[in-house]
Each structure stands twice: as structure tokens, then as C-alpha cells.
Structure 1
Amino acid sequence: MNIIQEIIVKQVVTPKSKQTLLNRFEQEKIKLEKEIDQLRFQSKKKDQGTNRGLVYKKEIDKRQEKIEVVEFQIQQLAILPLNSEIIESKAKGIVDVNVGDDWNQLMNNKTIVIEDGIVKEIR
């Protein structure tokens, strides 16, 4: 019988992966700033006397909070030591289960370790 199990994907921090993550964070920040500018522009076009102004403000505040999170991630990335492992994502995999298998061993979290885009280890 086959079951689906969650697999943790970890990334080894290298200079190349640090730069990739930094670029990703900066792109996300730029995207959020553009969305804020667009929302501000749209809010000026609309009637401010209605609830729409509040909706725009809430959306702008949400994006501003996301920018703060991204800025924190950039700060943490700067102090992250090389060769440490960070969780990048989670994936699902199929595990073959047979009568007599050790259930605890089957249910141990499986991990895939990636270094610069190449699978380095499967645990």
C-alpha cells in the first residue's frame, strides 16, 4: 500500500544561495511597494467619503506589514552562517507500506537537502 507523506526540503546556505534569497526578498519588496503605490493612486481616484477609503487603507497596511517581514528576513539572511541548513519548502512523497514494516521508522520526517540547486542528501 502507498501513502502520501510530507517531506521537508532544506537548503544549505552558500554564497550563491544567499544571493539568490536576497534577490528574491528584494523582488518581493519591490512588488509590494508597487502595489502600495497603485493602491494609493486608486484610493485618490475614488470617493473618500465611502468605506472604500478604509478598504484601501487596510490593504496598504497589510502590504506594509509584509514589507517589514521581508526587511526582517533580509536582516536575518545577512547574519546567517554559511553551510547552515534552512527549511526552504515542504513537498509530498509516496511511501510504500507493507505488512511488518516499522511504522515509527516510516513516519520519521524525511528530508531532502539541496545545495545550490542540486540534491546533496536524502535523509
Structure 2
Amino acid sequence: MQIIKKVQVKQIITEKSKEEIKANFLHHKMRLEQECQQLLFEQRKLKNKSGLSKQEIDQRFQREINNRKEKIKLAEFKMDQLDMLEIGSEIVEKEVEALVEVSEGSHWDEIMGNSAVVVKDNIVVRIEE
């Protein structure tokens, strides 16, 4: 029988990977800032239409804008943390699912133990089981 198990993907920080991660954070931050500008534009457009409560429009749009501003702050915090990371450090990048063979007599703790795939510049350098 096969089961699905979560496996961590860890990345070893190099100059190249650090720059790629930082570029991703900057791209995400810029997209959020553009969304804020678009929301402000849509808010002004809706205010000019009659029949809608201006206060309700303001509240709804402000909530969405604040949500995006919080995400911008989080991206900035992550960039600051990234700057502090030393070359050679390992970070957990994501989790993936893996198929694992289970049979009678298998040691459950060994099967379900923490596994990880360690990657350096998009090349697998080791598998921890």
C-alpha cells in the first residue's frame, strides 16, 4: 500500500538564491502596491456613482487596502530577514507530498519521520530521511 507523506524542501542560501528570493519579494511587493492603487481608483469611481453609500464604500475599500498594506509590511520584513541570513544557511522553502510504500511489519515512526530534500541553486544535494 502507498500513502502520501509531507516532505520539506530546504534551500541552502547562496548569493544567487538570495538574489532570486529578494527579487521574488520585490515583485510581490510591487504587485501589492499596484493593487492598492487600483483599489483607490475603483473607490473613486464608485463614489461618483449615485445610489451607493459612500461610507460603506470607504469601509470596504479601506479594509482591502489595509489587508494589502499588511502583506507589504510582511514582504519588507522577510526581505530584512533575508539580508541577515548568512550564505550556507538552510531555510525551509516549501512542503511537497511524496508517495511512501507501507507494508505489514513496516516501522511507522521511520515511515512518518521528518524527511527533507535539500536543494542548492536548484540542484538536489541530499535527501534526509
TM-score (norm 2): 0.92
The correspondence of residues 1-123 of structure 1 with structure 2, limited to 5 A, is 1-47=1-47, 49-123=54-128
Name the SS of the counterpart of 2:119 in structure 1: strand
Q: Deviations over 1:60-100 (max 9, x none)?
A: 00000000000000100001011111010000000001111
CA distance in 2, matches of 1:49, 1:32: 24
**Structure 2 gap segments, 5+ residues each:** 48-52
CA distance in 2, matches of 1:37, 1:50: 19
**Structure 1 gap segments, 5+ residues each:** none
Q: Per-residue deviation at 1:13?
A: 0.4
Number of equivalent positions: 123
CA distance in 2, matches of 1:92, 1:119: 16
**Percent identity over paired residues:** 37
CA distance in 2, matches of 1:60, 1:74: 21
CA distance in 1, matches of 2:31, 2:4: 35
CA distance in 2, matches of 1:101, 1:42: 59
CA distance in 2, matches of 1:116, 1:61: 35
Amino acid at match of 1:67: I
CA distance in 1, matches of 2:36, 2:62: 10
Q: Per-residue deviation at 1:41?
A: 0.8
Amino acid at match of 1:68: K
TM-score (norm 1): 0.96
